[in-house]
Amino acid sequence: MYIKIKLLLNKIVKALNLIPEKLRENGIVKGRVVQENSPKNKFLKLFYMQYHPVLYVGKNTEEFSTIQAAINNANDTPKYPVTIKISPGEYNESVKIRGRRYVSLVGSGRENCVLQNNGDYWNPPLEIAGKSSVFNMTIIAVRNNDINSKLPAYAIHHDFDGEGKSVISNCKIISQQNSAVGIGLRNNQTLVIDNCELYSSASHSLYAHNRI
């Protein structure tokens, strides 16, 4: 009886591991877009979205071409946090991970994986809160001479609702407009900055205050 149950479990595990490949083979998921709407394919897509905890971002061959698109499609929960792996390249966007999210951005290396944006205070390269983390990237708020000088952008802004600990590790963080990192901690929030280089055009590279 024990052997039969073990064999059955092995078959189930093997079948579940094949689901992502079957989805791709059948054209069901392409950048998280459903290609077919049969009940079977809807179930497979639901399973894939719920239990596949790693998404991939890249310019040519990965699932998503932008980091924000991957975040928007991440079905992260406390039980199933999502890791977004980012291929080498320059990503020109304002990435927002707000609220009660459980997302980690993992770059391919801070020398070859760059997130940058030339927006103002409201559109920095990266906004994070909650249990959101970022690793192995360079993040740059590019100089923008057109914005209101009173509202320049941080490279990373952590001043939003969402309980938990955020981690920024092994990153190069640069703002050509303001402090490299702007922090306004809320209740039950922790931010860890580890093994990072901070560069700023302001008089200080790190600006922090208690939200309360």
Domain ranges in the chain? 1-52, 54-210
* Alpha carbons 212 and 63: distance in angstroms, whole number: 40
Q: How many residues in the chain?
A: 212
* Domain 54-210 indexed as CATH 2.160.20.10: yes
pTM of the model: 0.75
Instruction: Dig out the tokens for 104 from the structure.
Output: 């980690």
pLDDT in tens, 60-70: 767 899 999 99
Q: What is the pLDDT of residue 177?
A: 93
pLDDT in tens, 83-101: 999 999 999 999 999 888 9
Q: Which H/E stretch holds residue 42?
A: helix 39-51
pLDDT band at 59 (very low <50, low <70, confident <90, very high): confident
Distances (CA, A) of 83 to 14, 103, 106, 125, 144: 22, 6, 7, 19, 31
Q: What is the pLDDT of residue 188?
A: 87
Higher pLDDT, 37 or 104: 104
Higher pLDDT, 123 or 162: 123
Closest CA to 114 of 132, 93, 97: 93
Question: CA 95, 99, 101 angle in degrees (round to 5)?
Answer: 80
Sheet holding 82-86, edge to edge: 54-57, 82-86, 103-107, 133-135, 164-169, 189-194
pLDDT in tens, 100-118: 899 999 999 999 999 999 9
Given a cut of 60, whether residue 187 has pLDDT beyond it is yes
CB 90 within 8 A of CB 119: no
Q: What is the pLDDT of residue 30?
A: 42
pLDDT in tens, 135-152: 999 999 999 877 666 789
Given a cut of 90, whether residue 155 has pLDDT beyond it is yes
The percentage of residues in the chain with a pLDDT greater than 70, rounded to a whole number, is 73
